[in-house]
Amino acid sequence: MSIVNERRKINKAINKAKHVFLMAHKDLDLDALGSSIGMYMILKRRKKKSFIVIDDKTHEPGVEKVLRELDGVIEVIKSENIEEYMFPNESKNLLVILDTNKSELVQAPELLKKFDNKLIIDHHDLGKTSIKDGIMINDNKVSSTCEMVTSLIEYYDVEIDSYYATILLSGIVLDTNNYTLNTTAETFYTSYYLTSLGASAKKVQYLLKQDIVEYTERQKLMAAIETLEGNVAFTKATQNTIYRREDLAKVAETLLFFNNIEASFVVGRIGKDTIGVSARSLGNYDITKVLTKVGGGGDTYSGAAKFEDSTVNKVAQEIKAIIKEEGE
């Protein structure tokens, strides 16, 4: 259901609040940050005191550029300092969660207990750990949370600067992998609308530019590709190289461009004692059947899992065994 059709729920939650806190998922990407900034602009129009909660210590290049360029323009706080920003009457505080609906994936899971009023706006499939005690606005048929928030901006006729329009457009381009995944006519219309507000395609490419060292490391993963069950691309990193989660995700997305590939799985170390799995699908292969068996999750097009105190080889063997099992 279109987010605009849920506007009464959204209006009720916003109108009741004095202070609003915006929080997306850990390891911010441009869809998470863009949708947060878009909602920030809507709330500013409503004259609501608003804050974006960001605890990430490091950021991917595009997110880093936006935060640097908007330093002092938008109010960004850390979760550990939230008490000093909350309205004295607890019932007048609202927590808006964007680009995830899973409790363990938000920037600061402990904040969920501090708010009685929660509004979740997301485009990923619901699951066992989806937040239950809040107003859920979920549409897994849209390309991105930026698309959802842009629909609200248009409906409310909120005037936004061309730079904010560009950030929202970059979130759409990112989540659709340059309009190749989960793209509908509405996605193209939303992109046109943002362009009419001054969004710059050239600036989008600037925000999406990649670090050459990180790109080279991802290329190493491409050298170890194998095909499983005829239509699943699989690759794993070396044991000692540590990647960011988004690096594994980008490789998984790239693998979908090969002929006859319907899904992809990438395994690599994402921390000293943590192994990550990133998976992507064109929609015809159910990656969640594999991921849920190892404690992970996702939706039709993307998913992930992580393992503590294991090795890349052990995790790779386990994932491959499940893929084979599912293919039988």
User: Where in the chain are the domains?
Assistant: 3-207, 212-327
Task: Return the pLDDT at 315.
Answer: 95
Task: Return the pLDDT at 247.
Answer: 86
Q: Is the pLDDT of residue 309 over 80?
A: yes
Lowest mean pLDDT among 29-43, 148-162, 245-259: 245-259
User: CATH topology of 3-207 equal to that of 212-327?
Assistant: no
In what order do the strands lie in the sheet containing 49-53? Answer: 76-77, 49-53, 19-23, 93-98, 118-122, 135-138
- Give burial (CB, 10 Å; 0-12/13-18/19+) of 57: exposed
Confidence of residue 1 (pLDDT cuts 50, 70, 90): low
Task: Return the pLDDT at 327.
Answer: 79
Confidence of residue 187 (pLDDT cuts 50, 70, 90): very high
Rounded CA-CA distance 104/89 in Å is 27
In the 3-class helix/strand/coil scheme, how is the chain assigned residue by residue? Answer: CCHHHHHHHHHHHHHHCCEEEEECECCCCHHHHHHHHHHHHHHHHCCCEEEEECCCCCCCHHHHHHHHHCECCECEECHHHHHHHCCCCHHHEEEEEECCCEHHHECCHHHHHHCCCEEEEECCCCCCCECCCCEEEECCCCCCHHHHHHHHHHHHCCCCCHHHHHHHHHHHHHHCCCCCCCCCHHHHHHHHHHHHCCCCHHHHHHHCCCCHHHHHHHHHHHCCCEEECCCEEEEECCCCCECCHHHHHHHHHHHCCCCCCCEEEEEEEEECCEEEEEEEECCCCCHHHHHHHHCCEECCCEEEEEEECCCHHHHHHHHHHHHHHHHC
Q: Is the pLDDT of residue 15 over 70?
A: yes
Mean pLDDT of the chain: 93
Q: Is the pLDDT of residue 248 over 80?
A: yes
Rounded CA-CA distance 133/58 in Å is 30
DSSP lists the bridge partners of residue 147 as none
Task: Return the pLDDT at 203.
Answer: 95
CATH code, 3-207 = 3.90.1640.10
Q: Which residue has 């947060």 as its token pair? A: 36
The CATH number fitting domain 212-327, selected from 3.90.79.10, 3.10.310.30, 3.50.50.60, 3.40.630.30? 3.10.310.30
Q: Closest Cα partner for 14 from 47, 62, 38, 55? A: 47
Average pLDDT over residues 290-297: 89
Lowest mean pLDDT among 65-69, 234-238, 246-250, 320-324: 246-250
Average pLDDT over residues 77-98: 96
Task: Return the pLDDT at 328.
Answer: 65
